[in-house]
A and B are shown apart, each in its own frame.
Chain A
Amino acid sequence: MVPGDDQIRALVNALSITREHEIDCSECLDMVAEFAERELSNRPIPDALETVRHHLTRCGECREEYEALFTTLKRMQEQEESEGRPD
């Protein structure tokens, strides 16, 4: 296994954000709904949820799912606001 330039860069990036303790994808799924709601409403992220932010940096699949969830919440919020707004 001999990495090329792009792979070396990706590997070094991955190593640079590696922590001793990281949550896995199931733990991320358990917490990501709260994380997304807090991000959407600009509420502070407690320390326990910073592990989610780190996992999303590291895990492309969870990040893709989170981005779709965030988009969903944002669209639903906009829809609720426009429906609730008086003409």
Chain B
Amino acid sequence: MNTAGFEWQKRLAPDSPDRESALRELRLFMLKGVRAGLFRRPGTDDDFLEDVVQSAMIRVLDHLDRFEGRSAFTTWAIAIALRVAFTELRRKHWNNVSLDELREKGAFPRSEAASGSDPHEAAARHSLITLLHRIIRKELSPHQRDMLLAELNGMPHDEIAAQMGLTRNAVYKLGHDARRALRRALEAAGYGIEEVRNVLERQEG
């Protein structure tokens, strides 16, 4: 238990006589922390860092009661600041790509059998991919399909969340439910995950 962390909580409380000085110290500490964590990363000039720390301070103060003393308070606060920073960096990076575009593109090129592969292995692979295609269509909701599609195209959860009007947690849960559903459906069709790997790798190897 990190008891020094609870001192921060007391000093930052709205009725604390020491609040202003605690806020100043925390701001400087967070600024130093995010600067070190984002060192030489494009788009992270001083203005960006100041904005991040400003937003992160508000979030830290709103969530003071969630600090449980299992780490240093400053580590906890810097973790929050880094989440704010990366969320903003990803938003800037992905703001020209929409889920609609990915959906309209039909998403993915169809996987073709490698030339010269064993016909039995190629058939096994084809049948597995057809099954995968079918269960994605049948077992997943449109939201889950969109989420999976975006994720497989590298879109971060923050951006998927923003475009779907959900929270990042809700997007994670959507993906988790989709993965569980796919895994169960594959197992129900007689494919354990290792068997799936084997069928795919036999041809690739």
| A residues with CB within 8 A of B | 1-5, 7-12, 14-16, 18, 20, 22, 24-26, 29-34, 36-37, 59-61, 64-65, 68-69, 71-73, 75-76
Which residues on B sit within 8 Å (CB–CB) of A8? Answer: 111, 129, 132, 200
With both beta carbons as reference points, the residue of chain B lying nearest to A38 in the complex is identified as: B71
Q: Which residues of A contact B75 (CB under 8 A)?
A: 33, 36-37, 69, 73
Contact A15 B193 (CB under 8 A): yes
Supply 20 further A-B pairs (C-beta < 8 A) apart from A4-B110, A61-B168, A69-B78: A1-B108, A1-B137, A1-B149, A7-B108, A9-B200, A11-B132, A12-B200, A15-B193, A15-B196, A18-B176, A33-B71, A33-B72, A34-B71, A37-B72, A37-B75, A61-B158, A65-B83, A68-B37, A72-B34, A76-B33
- How distant is the Cα of A20 from the Cα of B60 in the complex, in angstroms? 31
Q: Which chain A positions have C-beta within 8 A of B156?
A: 60-61
Asked whether A14 and B200 contact (CB < 8 A) given A24-B172, A61-B86, A71-B36, the answer is no
Q: Given A9-B200, A61-B90, A69-B37, are A16 and B193 neighbors across the interface (CB < 8 Å)?
A: yes
B182 in the interface (beta carbon within 8 A): yes
What is the total of A-B residue contacts with beta carbons within 8 Å?
Answer: 132
**A10 vs B32: C-alpha distance when bound (angstroms):** 36
Given contacts A11-B152, A32-B79, A76-B32, contact A68 B183 (CB under 8 A): no
Query: What's the least CB distance linking B205 to chain A, in Å?
Result: 13
Measured CB to CB, the closest approach of chain A to B116, in angstroms, equals: 16
Least CB distance from A21 to B in Å reads 9
**3 residue pairs, one from A and one from B, having the closest CB atoms:** A68-B37, A33-B71, A72-B37
Among A20, A31, A64, A65, max chain B CB count under 10 A is at: A65
| Contact of A34 with B33 at beta-carbon distance under 8 Å, contacts A3-B132, A25-B168, A68-B38 already known | no
